[in-house]
Structures are given as C-alpha cells and as structure tokens.
Amino acid sequence: MSRWHNRAPHWDDGPSWGHAPFWDGHRRHHQDGEPPLCEEVRLFSLVASDPAHGAVDVRSGRFTVTLTFDENVVDNGVWAHNRHKIRMWAGTFRLPIRVTHNGRRVFITPINGLPANSKITVSVAPDFMSSTGKILGKTAIIIFHTAKFSSTIRVVRRRLVSIAEE
C-alpha cells in the first residue's frame, strides 16, 4: 500500500467541476468571464476630482489633487490596501506622491510639485476598495494639463545696507 493511501482528500481528487452536481451554484471555474453565481460583484465609483478630468492651465508647483468617492475609503484595514493603488505621471515619468485621506476624499500631493507645461495623469487601480468591501472594478483615470509657466512665486529679498557698513 502506498504512503498516500490514508491521506486527507485533496480538492483535485474528485471529478471535474462540470460533473459534480453537489457543486452547482457554488464556486467553479468560469471560462466566459462571468462572475461565479455565489459571488456578487459589488462596485463603488469615483464621483469627482479637483482638478476635473480634462482641465487645462492648472497651476504647477505645490498642488494637491482631490479625489472624491461615493463611499468611505479610510477604514484602517482597507487603507493599508488602498494607499499604494494610486499613481501619478507627468507625461511618461512617474511622479513620487504622498497620499492622505479623510472619509470619502483622497488627497494626492506630488512630493516635488507638478511640472509646468505637462500632461498629468492620475490613475486609481481597479481593486481600490471601499470600507464596505466594494471595489472600483475598472481603472479610474484623470488627465489634466498644467499651465505653460511655473506658478511658483519667488520673493527676492534685498539686504539693506546701512551707512555704517559702507
């Protein structure tokens, strides 16, 4: 007798999925892309962004992009999953960002600011999750363009020279 004779049954030991009547209505392989019968796909959505998709002449430099969702996305367990699901590009260069949250809003701040005269793309992954367990289901993309010239204001300080120093 083999040493595997008294082992616990394995999921692959039984008949194929199509021939097991006791599995009907439960998890099974799906070739046509439909969700399984027992799993309902629950979605939520991105409601608004500031700046809006397609905006032009957005100021460059230090700037925060705000995304508003229709459900809360800040549950601590969910936020550990979500915080790395948002990305930002200037043209083809990925920008380092800081992502914070408050209820249904997510704030994205580029660490080095937004470059002038650039196409900025913000993407949110399809598995971005709400605190109720719903997902976006598809990639959310916001594209806007920054103004041609940098909007950072530089203050020139002049040193006052007193008569005693001359």
Cα distance between residue 16 and residue 18, in whole Å:
6
Domain tally, the chain: 1
Q: In what order do the strands lie in the sheet with 97-102?
A: 46-50, 65-69, 105-110, 97-102
Whether 157 is covered by a domain: the verdict is: no
Q: Are 45 and 136 in contact (CB under 8 A)?
A: yes
Whether 20 is covered by a domain: the verdict is: no
Structure tokens that stand for 135 in this block = 């997902």
CA 108 from centroid of its chain's CA atoms: 10
Whether 151 is covered by a domain: the verdict is: no
Q: How would you classify the pairing of strands 65-69 and 86-90?
A: unpaired
Whether 132 is covered by a domain: the verdict is: yes
pLDDT tens-digit profile of 58-109? 888 888 999 999 888 887 778 888 888 999 999 899 999 999 988 889 999 9
Nearest Cα residue to 64 out of 1, 103, 120: 120
Task: Give the mean pLDDT of 107-116.
Answer: 92
Q: Are 108 and 122 in contact (CB under 8 A)?
A: yes
**Mean pLDDT for the chain overall:** 76
Whether 69 is covered by a domain: the verdict is: yes
Whether 17 is covered by a domain: the verdict is: no
Whichever domain contains 52, its CATH number is 2.60.40.1220
Percent of the chain at pLDDT exceeding 70: 65
The parent domain of residue 94 ranges over 46-145
Whether 126 is covered by a domain: the verdict is: yes
Whether 96 is covered by a domain: the verdict is: yes
At residue 23, the pLDDT reads 45
Residue 27 pLDDT more than 80?
no
Nearest Cα residue to 52 out of 148, 146, 142, 147: 142
Of residues 127 and 152, the one with the higher pLDDT is 127
